[in-house]
Amino acid sequence: MDTVEELNDTYYFNGLSNLTAYELLFWILIDETEKQLGVEDIMAVIALILGDNAIDVPGKPANATPGTSHASLFFRKHISYKFKSRVLPTLTRRSFSMRGLQIFWVNHLGAFIGRTIPVVGWVILASDVAAISYRTVQKYNVIARYEDKIW
């Protein structure tokens, strides 16, 4: 049972005793993270790795996003369908910041799929972070004394 130990104003959680409020929050975060991680997260990490544009492409124009990814090479080779005009939005990055992201329209279905793979990975990981954060705060607030609660 996860409780408040009234004797010395500390908390007990998951076999750990004499926890401060901050330590309690930390251990609940670890517990919720362990519960959340699973096959989807492995797929998200794989998507991020395969979608990373780390393969050098000689002869690319100077204003193009440098490099390409394993996913892009694979899907360009195996899905060669092209639309008549650029109707598929993709995200490319010029740098490792959010400001470095830009939307680039393509007509090649394989390129679209290859560039979408890492976006799916980021969405899965962002969803995990949101779920872990929400459940951590909820559980913490159930256990914590009024003065230690978050919000």
- Write out pLDDT tens, residues 103-137: 889 999 998 998 899 889 889 999 999 999 999 99
pLDDT of residue 43: 87
Q: How far is CA 76 from the centre of its chain?
A: 25
The model's pTM:
0.71
Q: Are residues 125 and 44 in contact, defined by beta-carbon separation less than 8 angstroms?
A: yes
Indicate whether 4 pLDDT > 70: no
Residue 60's pLDDT band (boundaries 50, 70, 90)? confident
Helix (H, G, I), strand (E, B) or coil at 63: coil
Closest Cα partner for 103 from 59, 112, 82?
Answer: 112
The percentage of the chain sitting over the pLDDT mark of 70, rounded to a whole number, equals: 91
pLDDT of residue 3: 61
Q: Are residues 75 and 110 in contact, defined by beta-carbon separation less than 8 angstroms?
A: yes
Indicate whether 98 pLDDT > 80: no
pLDDT of residue 82: 92
Average pLDDT over residues 8-18: 88
Q: List, in sequence order, the alpha helices (H) in 1-151.
A: 21-36, 39-50, 70-78, 109-143
Encoded amino acid at 101, one letter:
L
Q: Where are the domains of the chain?
A: 39-142
The Cα-based distances of 59 to 56, 63, 74, 91, 106 in angstroms read: 10, 11, 19, 21, 19
